Structure 1
């Protein structure tokens, strides 16, 4: 049986990936799926918009004169470009903390130009370069504003992390006691919920007004996070990154956030539809292709938008000379309910 994501070298299939997809309505009904829509999945960085919710709900935005760009960065898996690193540093200054208060660790950034410049200058990698430094800065903001301990902010028992679990349970309609946790790549808790519940969370992020069983304050907070992400998508990811280009192409209609190990989620502001994708083997190269195919099959957008994003839909396979020698293609049809 043909797998849903095919990797071609020339005209020959070289590799393939299984994928699980859940499409839900604003009411939480499963509208379409592929694979196992109830698959228990660690949301990884796709959970970042909800991990930032206590910042808004605690009043920290006004208390520290935080900008919408900074709020978008709290939801980011950024590339480590100067705009990202400088913004994290500015946030830390506003709350009277320093770079060494970030507990995200470090790694080589996606923005290789910044890394090459760092080496040329004789510098060393720091936590600012971590793609999760925005999220960690946000967690510090939320903790400082609520007089919580900043040295233990990433521990599961910390009250900020417990607030996040409360939020995930509420926004996904999933029993709090059933949310399994482990540790994410940057050291904070990561949450495991059914794929269709993750899709519901993104439906509510995209269209909070459709969520009737919650407070107006929470709807307003979700709307503020959504608007920050779609207005400043370059802060959520970076230059030539899928989430940035996707949100730019759709204007303020689509809010999107990818995660490690083949996770990608988005919500449609107009219809309230939420989508969650998980590539079974964790390969990130299948997520963009799968998400773009879902957008096509659901007829979200139009050809002018899809043309802008074509290299993410049928992703080119390049050799070391930057020549196209193959393609990653979607080969699946959603099951409609």
Structure 2
């Protein structure tokens, strides 16, 4: 499993420490992922033991679905293990965007996969807090857009969205692997796509830039998208 870590939300971590309690694996931000895989194993009638192994029936089912929605093929050369001990497979940003576009279009999926993806998208739109949590960009984005955009942050500066009305998928990766630039960059792309209503843009303003502070707490810089990052012809729809 993931191991024990304090909650990612700092006030919750402080409250846990104030009560004199030690963090457990349940506080890790990937504990829900493990619970979901174990639940899948139960549905499949597979043993719970070894659920992290690539050959486990639950992992094989997850792999097969990822291949179907991304139009990619994940052979052994693409296999790795993530920080939570779970098999992951290398793919491109394009294929990641295709996967999220499928949430919006359901194109090319059989009835079972289409029903499953529609159910997941509806769950994310209706209960965004359970996707990220308090103060998290993915949660705030879904709330601000009233579920017209569903998205999920990932490790190493990854963020993906499905623009349900437009039938588009968006995948973004911050090269240095930190997440602090992911929200400003994503908002800039969504603005370029004219995907945000004025009220949503205003609600998400706190995520549009990130202050850089020194050890004394003084603001010494800012992380934000450059105003002219998009080529003129692209901005004009050319």
Q: Output the TM-score relative to the length of structure 2.
A: 0.90
SS state at 2:180 partner: helix
Shift of residue 125, structure 1, vs aligned partner? 1.3
Q: Is the 8 A contact 2:181 2:210 kept in 1?
A: no
Q: Which residue of 2 aligns with 1:190?
A: 88
Determine if contact 1:169/1:179 at 8 Å carries over to the other structure. no
Q: CA deviation at 1:322?
A: 6.3
User: What is the match of residue 274 of structure 1?
Assistant: 169
Per the alignment, residue 116 of structure 1 pairs with 14
Match among 135, 143, 150 for residue 248 of structure 1: 143
Specify which structure has the higher proportion of strand: 1
Does the alignment pair 1:161 with 2:59?
Answer: yes
1:207–1:223 Cα contact (<8 Å) kept: no
Q: Distance in 2 between matches of 1:175 and 1:254?
A: 27
Distance (Å, rounded) in 2 between the aligned partners of 1:138 and 1:313: 32
Q: What aligned pairs does 1:290-309 form with structure 2 within 5 A after superposition?
A: 290-309=185-204
**Residue number among 93, 106, 116 corresponding to 2:4 in the alignment:** 106
User: RMSD in angstroms over aligned alpha carbons?
Assistant: 2.0
Find the counterpart in structure 2 of residue 228 from structure 1.
123
Secondary structure of 1:185's match? coil
Query: Would you say the 8 A contact 1:238–1:244 is kept in 2?
Result: yes
Aligned in 2, Cα 1:202/1:157: closer, same or farther, shift over 3 Å?
same
Per-residue deviation at 1:169?
0.8
SS of equivalent residue, structure 2 residue 152:
strand
Higher relative contact order (CA 8 A, sep 6+): 1
Aligned residues: 232
Say yes or no: does 1:146 pair with 2:41. no
Output aligned runs, 1:1-337, within 5 Å: 103-177=1-75, 180-208=78-106, 211=107, 213-318=108-213, 324-331=219-226, 332-333=229-230, 336=234
Distance 2:69 2:81 in 1: 21
**Contact 1:152 1:158 (C-alpha < 8 Å) held by counterparts:** yes
Segments of 5+ residues of structure 1 without an aligned counterpart are: 1-102
- Structure 2: state its 5+ residue gaps: none
- For 2:76 and 2:96, the matched residues in 1 are separated by 14
Q: CA deviation at 1:118?
A: 2.4
CA distance in 1, matches of 2:180, 2:12: 23
| Alignment TM-score, normalising by the size of structure 1 | 0.65
Q: Is the 8 A contact 1:250 1:301 kept in 2?
A: yes
